[in-house]
Amino acid sequence: MTSTPQIPSYEDALPVVYKGLDELNQQRPRNQRLPATPECVLFGDSGNLNSLELSNFIVLIEQLVHEKFGVEVDLTEGDPFSPESGHMRTAGTLAAHISNLVREQA
């Protein structure tokens, strides 16, 4: 018997992103920690994650999505860093993308 993945809403996905941010923040100096808000910039204008942090963050979030919702997602598909529509722009855009991805796979 296989379990049906939970279909998350944006509100369900946001804590997953925050958990990832929390783990990321533990590796950063106190004054450079990222806020757990939907507006938190991950990549672009005022984002200050370097490429190594972004890479590790992507891997971490994919693991957390699998643990939480039971599906494997690829956050690098599409155009993740587009300034207009990229899902890696903010915590909020990432959460919305996760919600959509999991729904598509459910």
Q: Is the dihedral of CA 83, 85, 87, 89 positive or negative?
A: positive
Q: Which member of 15, 25, 28, 54 binds other proteins (CB under 8 A)?
A: 54
Q: Which member of 32, 37, 63, 76 binds other proteins (CB under 8 A)?
A: 76
Q: Does 59 bind other proteins (CB under 8 A)?
A: yes
- C-alpha to C-alpha distances, 19 to 41, 72, 82, 93, 105, nearest whole angstrom: 15, 17, 24, 15, 22
Is the Cβ of residue 1 or residue 52 nearer to other proteins in the bound state?
52
CA 39/CA 16 separation, integer angstroms: 15
Q: Does 55 bind other proteins (CB under 8 A)?
A: yes
Q: List the structure tokens of 27.
A: 């590796």
User: Interface with other proteins by CB under 8 A: which residues?
Assistant: 43-45, 47-52, 54-56, 58-59, 74, 76, 79-85, 88
